[in-house]
Structure 1
Amino acid sequence: MKKTIFITGSTDGIGKLTAIKLAGEGHSVYVHGRNGDKVAATIVEIKELTKNDNINGFVADLSNFEAVKELANQLKNEISSLDVLINNAGVYNSTISQNNTGFDMRFAVNYFAPYILTNALLPLLKNSESARIINLSSAAQAPVNLNTLIGQQNESEGATYAQSKLALTMWSFYLAKTEPKINVIAVNPGSLLNTKMVQKAFGKSWDSADKGANILSDLAILESYKNASGTYFDNDQGSFGSAHSDAYNETKIQQLIEVTEEVLN
């Protein structure tokens, strides 16, 4: 059965490779990026590579929360149901340390943006017979400092990146419980995959970006993962595993969600 799939951050890296793979299997794929020219070029490239004309795209800066809300509105105006949402977009290094509302860029793009976008798209996901949300976590996970989360304390790029990825994982588990009809999976696509973000941050890679794209596309559509909601897939191990212990701490999760709702509102 062909799916309607939206992938954030899909003009390069594992997001783009995932889009190509899923388009090649005949699914309707919506790509996303910050740069309109890159989005347009990506759509043309995927159509040519896959001979699939059901490829469209959206342009939005995910560090800007108003732009994230507008992106959701555009998607809701375009389609009536969404089968798969892959929150792939992420940032490690950034020339700008904070977004336009004073949040650390890593928290803004890696956690707040998917939180806002996903909640706005829940009506579309609920219109699908078997919706899935795939959230891009990481092997790098660190306890969330709530003062850093809300922009009252500054920490290093590495620290805030790891905290943002744990926050995303904690929220993934929360969402899986609060939306039992939607399959929500957090995934570490693999450590130091050969992407622009990794090369810029570390100057080296351990594995090909295809490793990440393969697991993302599998988690998105394979029947074998249809009952995996509320789990964490560790692609370094090639299997489901355990996230950071805080991801299973109900008190800390509740604190995170309450603070998140408070600052966003």
Structure 2
Amino acid sequence: MAERTILVTGSTDGIGEATARELSRQGHRVLLHGRNPEKGRKVLAELEENTGADRLDLFIADLSVQEQVMRLAEEVAGAYDRLDVLINNAGVFMPERAVAPGGIEMTFAVNFLSQVLLAHELLGLLERSAPARIVNVASIAHRSARSVDWGNLPGFPDYDAYDAYAVSKLGVVAFTARLARTLEGTGVTANSLHPGVIDTKLLRAYTGGRDGGAPPEKGAEVEVHLALSPDAGETSGGYFEENRWKRPSSLALDAGVQEQFWEMGSSLTGAVRWADPKAYAR
């Protein structure tokens, strides 16, 4: 398989780190991302030692801060002339309400809006590298969102931790399906996935610190499959769960819901160029 350049957000821990390790082991150029520089450098050194790879790089950004998301995209585009796959893996579960800049609730800012903005800012590079892929990590939790209180977004003043998480992941699935339609003819695909119930910091935040779930390597298998497999390259707008393409929730498939997440994601991030994605390649 030809070497691919792949950015994995949230790759200094958990599923993201396991994904980066496997992609590096297979000989791909992996761009790591984390929030903590010291931890990032430690993981970079460990992966280089454990995989023998010399094609790793590290980028630092707090994805709850949109200026840092845009800076991350600028740094990647400035350092590399191609990007074959963007894996939007980073995610959080916040037991208590926290607020990101702009009054946006932290779960929504990281899990949903950072994916919207990073894909938007890197689309030109992805198009110039086509065929290319956007892989957005969602969750089976999106099925728990039976409705969306649009008036409660994006600040979630009426806060329930699990509801905020489920709505953020519903947004990922719905937005990805809408994005895939916009990207038709560009050579860039967009799909979302549920990596499984995996033993990560995020799961322990939900369970109150209790261990559980499969090892991160199991979740990484799903992300690597969507990043590299031929069938994933031929699919766009799909949702992958339990090792196969599955129909997401009826709410995620609702055209009106998709459009509302699309408009909200675009307006809150300033991602206004989606109307003509082919312009990115020029």
| TM-score normalised according to structure 1 size | 0.95
Paired AA for residue 231 in structure 1: G
Does residue 199 (structure 1) correspond to residue 200 (structure 2)? The answer is no
Give the corresponding residue for 1:247. 252
Deviation (angstroms), 1:161 = 0.3
What is the RMSD computed on CA atoms of the aligned residues?
1.4
Compute the displacement of 1:94 (Å).
5.9
Structure 2 partner of 1:38? 39
Deviation of 1:239 (Å): 1.2
Residues 146, 55 of structure 1: CA spacing in aligned structure 2 closer, same or farther, 3 A cutoff? same
- The worse-fitting range, judged by mean Cα deviation, of 95-104 and 225-234 is 95-104
1:173 matched to 2:177: yes
Inter-partner Cα distance in structure 1 for 2:261 and 2:205? 30
Native 8 Å contact 1:144 1:166 kept in 2? no
| Cα distance change of structure 1 residues 29 and 244 upon mapping to structure 2, 3 Å threshold | same
SS at match of 2:24: helix
- 2 CA distance for matches of 1:198 and 1:152? 21
Give the 3 Å change call, closer, same or farther, for CA 122–74 of structure 1 in structure 2. Answer: same
In the alignment, the residues of structure 2 paired with residue 96 and residue 48 of structure 1 have an alpha-carbon distance, to the nearest angstrom, of: 39
Q: 1:261 maps to what in 2?
A: 266
Match of 2:115 in 1: 114
Q: Which amino acid aligns with 2:264?
A: V
Does structure 2 retain, via aligned residues, the 8 Å contact 1:22–1:29?
A: yes
Partner of 2:166: 162
Counterpart of 1:216? 223
After superposing the two structures, state which structure 1 stretch, 68-77 or 201-210, moved more: 201-210
Tell me the CA shift for residue 152 of structure 1: 5.9
- Residue deviations 1:169-190, cap 9 Å, x none? 1110011110122121100000
Q: Quick one: distance in 1 between partners of 2:131 and 2:33?
A: 22
How far off is 1:155 after superposition? 1.9
Match of 2:189 in 1: 183
Q: Which amino acid aligns with 1:104?
A: E
Structure 2 residue matching 1:183: 3-state secondary structure:
strand
Deviations 1:179-211 (A, max 9, x none): 1221211000002x1112112221232322211
Q: 1:150 to 1:196 in 2, by over 3 A?
A: closer
8 Å contact from structure 1 (residues 147, 153) kept in 2? no
Count of residues in Structure 1 that have an aligned counterpart in Structure 2 = 262
Q: Within 1, Cα distance between the matches of 2:97 and 2:116? A: 21
What residue in structure 2 maps to residue 145 of structure 1? Answer: 149
How far apart in 1 are the matches of 2:192 and 2:136? 5
Query: Aligned residues: percent identity?
Result: 35
SS at 2:104 equivalent: coil
C-alpha distance 105-208 of structure 1, shift in aligned 2 (>3 A): same
Task: Work out the CA distance in 1 between the residues paired with 2:203 and 2:169.
Answer: 15
**1:151 corresponds to which letter in structure 2?**
G
Kindly provide the CA deviation profile for residues 144-173 of structure 1, in whole angstroms up to 9, marking residues without a partner as x: 322232226322110000000000111100
1:114 counterpart SS class: helix
CA–CA distance in 2 between the matches of 1:84 and 1:206? 27
Cα shift at 1:139: 0.6
Does structure 1 conserve the Cα–Cα contact (< 8 Å) formed by 2:193 and 2:240?
Answer: yes
Residue type of the alignment partner of 1:247: A
CA contact (8 A) 2:95 2:206 kept: no
d(CA) in 2 for partners of 1:96 and 1:41? 30
Q: Which runs of 5+ in 1 are unaligned?
A: none
Return the TM-score normalized by structure 2: 0.89
Gap runs ≥5 in structure 2: 271-282
